[in-house]
Chain A
Amino acid sequence: MQKMFANLFGSIGRELLSFYRSEKFYFVLGAMAIGAIIPLFVSDYVVGEVLTPMIIFTIYASSWNLLAYSGQGSLGHAAFLGIGGFASALLAIKLGVPPIFCLFLGSLFSAAIGLLIGLACVRLKAWFLAMVTFGFSVIIVTLISQFDTVIGGIMGFPTPLLVERGLAFYYMTFALATTSIFTMYLLMKSKMGLAFRAIHENELEAKMIGINTAKYRLLAFVLSTFFAGLAGGLYAQSIRYIQVSVFDAYYSFLPLMMVVIGGLRTMEGPIIGSVIIISIESYLPRIDPIMQGLMGPLFPSVSNVGPPLRMLSLGLFLVIVVIFFPKGVSSLLHKIHNYFREETKKANNIERK
């Protein structure tokens, strides 16, 4: 046991050291500095309505991505977002647990439900699992509506505040997101992450080299639902209100969209995707009046052409990204980075000559 722990910490230490020495370290440091400084220069509204959701959905999208690493996909991740949110809010209101513990208890509860669902369907293939999770997100709405007298989910209820909204809440979310993503990074660098990748590449071969695929797929599912639950608890806090609409299919597709647009199975993908999608959703509605003026007369059957046009372009965007940039925006950034590295190498060579 002791040896195992020593090994584990040894490997984490090694990972940390190699991370510190690599080029990535500076990028991460830069990104974190940007994340920490920006809220100081923008209005409270932007911090509360744009930046905080960005961070929360980064956790949520990363949790989805973690599942994708192991070759699985979920179309009902909103179920776990909602369970995390409801569980943490209810624990605080009904049992008087301090909100900070509620956040983690809520995520644990979400992971426990994830374990149950996972146990039922680890044997299923990718799209079967996607279907079952979607089905589960429909069933959970019915269950919450059935026990409405206890939960009160249909009308919704305000969530107890953990910290004051605004900068304090932003920095707390930021710290939690950084920790979560760093944990996922270390997980993916560990033996477990290797197993996830192997299962994604070829499950049969993974089984052949002695990986217990069922165990690792279940593990991926449980971990993913834990982080989704954490995001749910934070989301309920950030909008200060929780309602059964959190289980909408929209919230199930959101992480998927973010991950695909950002870059599937990359650590930075969910972050980039979340920044892109949340910015689009927050700022693009402002050009709705212009679009109405331009395109309105063409489509007389809709009163406001803005929202459907926006959704239409988002859908087209997703299709185009999948077909032409299967690795998402992150691959573009990698290309740019590589280009500059080549250039500096050339420049160095010239200097040496």
Chain B
Amino acid sequence: MSGLVETLLWGVVNGCIYILLATGLNIIFGVMKLVNFAHGQLLMIGAYVAFTAATVFGLNAYLSILVAIVTIALIGAGLERLTFRRVLGTDKLNEIFVSLGLIYVFENVAVLLWGNKLKQITSPFQGLGLSLGEVSISYDLLLAISVVTVILIALFILMKKTKIGLAMRATSQRSDTSMLMGVNIEKVYIFTFALGAALAGAAGALYGIIFPFNPSIGALPTIKAFAIIMLGGLGSIPGAIIGGLLYGIAENTAVYFLGGIWQDAIAFALLIIVLVIRPTGLFGEKGE
């Protein structure tokens, strides 16, 4: 029984990281209609940035999340300006190609700078936990969940209450009309990409606190984040949150009942089944 509870908890934590990644991807897709397959590599770089901040500069692990967020946002802004802006609006496949090239670039830059070995950010709460009867919950997991909650609330406020949020929502509906209404589309695009990247950076820092990581961890989370977006429906943030939680829990329960080898496969099987039955996702809008 306690095993199952722990599995569910880990599922929620996994899901939280996926939610951040998927929300970032979803915002970028929603506003820019851009498919960035290198999103998971931003997570990976975020983990390394937080790691460097924590070890080299001796920062608290949870404060290093902020460093990761800022750095990855800047990298994201640079990426949008230098690469994606040039292929936006051309063939859809071109965006996929650019992001695949970026995967190679990021992974190998990380190998060159930080090496191939597994690393993990040491948290100040390592080994400490809340014990509830048989089940013990480490503080790190609880903190991770609360950090994600705070970030999501901040994101919600940004999207609903600020001017740039309004501009983003307008652009996501009709980019040409919002341009006519005086929205600086290029600024919105660069901000959107930086915001999405920042979410990935936060996800990476949390990942680095909870799991050990190396330069090649980025690939599967990207694909899973895409799966979550499709589960939840393109462009729907609540969908991404529910999809992320469902996905994290499904993945961990599958490992618990069927064995570790099914971790990645069961999730994709789920995705394929959902897409076959409902091509627009569980909460997606009809058509495009």
Give the residue of A126, A135, A145, A308 whose beta carbon is less than 8 angstroms from that of B93.
Answer: A126
A131 to B101, CA, bound (A): 17
Say yes or no: B272 contacts A315, CB within 8 Å. Answer: no
Give the contact-size bracket for chain B.
Answer: 35 or more
Task: Please tell me if A271 contacts chain B, counting CB pairs below 8 Å.
Answer: no
Q: Establish whether residues B276 and A121, one from each chain, have CB atoms under 8 Å apart when the complex forms.
A: yes
A108 at the interface (CB under 8 A from B): no
- Given known contacts A73-B93, A145-B261, A323-B87, A312 and B104 CB-to-CB distance under 8 angstroms: yes
Residue among B90, B268, B279 facing the most chain A CB atoms (10 A cut-off): B268
Binary contact track A17-41/B, C-beta < 8 Å → 1, others 0: 0000000000000000000000000
Interface on chain A toward B: helix, strand, loop, or mixed SS? Answer: helix
- Give complex CA distance A308, B116 in Å: 10
Q: Which residues of the other chain, A, contact B268 by a CB distance below 8 angstroms?
A: 135-136, 138-139
Chain B nearest CB from A281 CB (Å) reads: 13
**Cα–Cα distance between A136 and B271 once the two chains are bound (Å):** 10
Using an 8 Å CB-CB cutoff, how does the interface string of A310-336 with B read, 1 for contact, 0 for none?
A: 011011111100110010000000000
A322 touches B87 (CB 8 A): yes
Known: A126-B93, A308-B111. A135 touches B230 (CB 8 A): no
Q: Is the CB of A68 within 8 A of B93?
A: yes
Is B282's CB within 8 Å of the partner chain A? Answer: no
**Residue contact A318 to B223, C-beta cutoff 8 Å:** no
Which of A85-93, A189-197, A299-307 forms part of the interface with chain B? Answer: A299-307
A182 at the interface (CB under 8 A from B): no
A131/B83 contact (C-beta < 8 A), A312-B104, A315-B101 known: no
Q: How far is the CA of A89 from the CA of B205 in the complex (A)?
A: 45
Cβ of B81 within 8 Å of any chain A Cβ, yes or no, is: no
Chain B residues lying within 8 Å of A326, measured Cβ to Cβ, are 87, 90-91, 94
User: Which residues in chain A, 106-132, are within 8 Å of chain B measured between CB atoms?
Assistant: 120-121, 123-128, 130-132
How far is the CB of B139 from the nearest CB of chain A, in Å?
Answer: 31
Judge if B114 is at the interface, Cβ distance under 8 Å. Answer: yes
Q: Given the known A-B contacts A121-B275, A131-B223, A138-B264, are A308 and B112 also in contact in the complex, defined by CB atoms under 8 Å?
A: yes
- A216 and B105 alpha carbons, distance in the complex (Å): 36
Q: Across the interface, do A123 and B115 meet the contact criterion of CB distance under 8 Å?
A: no
A-B contact count (CB 8 A): 125
A73 touching B272, Cβ below 8 Å: no
Report how far A302 CA is from B116 CA in the complex, Å: 7
A146 contacts the other chain (CB 8 A): yes
Residues in B with CB closer than 8 Å to A257 are 100
Q: Within the complex, what minimum Cβ distance (angstroms) separates A285 from chain B?
A: 15
- The residues of B that contact A301 with a CB separation of less than 8 Å are 112-115
Contact mask for chain B residues 63-100; partner A; CB cutoff 8 A; 1 contact, 0 none: 00000000000000000000100110011111011101
Separation of A318 and B279 alpha carbons in the complex (Å)? 31
Give the chain B neighbours of A308 by CB distance below 8 A. Answer: 108, 111-112
A249 proximal to B (CB < 8 A)? yes
Q: How far is the CA of A142 from the CA of B268 in the complex (A)?
A: 11
A contact residues around B96 at 8 Å (CB): 73, 75, 127, 130
In the complex, are the beta carbons of A128 and B116 less than 8 A apart?
no
Q: Does A253 contact B (CB under 8 A)?
A: yes
Knowing A120-B272, A132-B272, A135-B268 are in contact, say whether A256-B223 is a contact too (CB < 8 A).
no
Closest 7 CB pairs between A and B? A315-B104, A135-B268, A301-B115, A318-B101, A142-B265, A319-B101, A312-B108
User: Could you list 9 A-B pairs, sorted by A, with CB under 8 Å?
Assistant: A128-B279, A132-B275, A134-B223, A136-B268, A142-B262, A253-B100, A301-B115, A312-B105, A319-B101
Name B's A-contacting residues (CB within 8 A). Answer: 35, 37, 83, 86-87, 90-94, 96-98, 100-105, 107-109, 111-116, 219, 223, 226-227, 230, 261-262, 264-265, 268-269, 271-272, 275-276, 279, 288
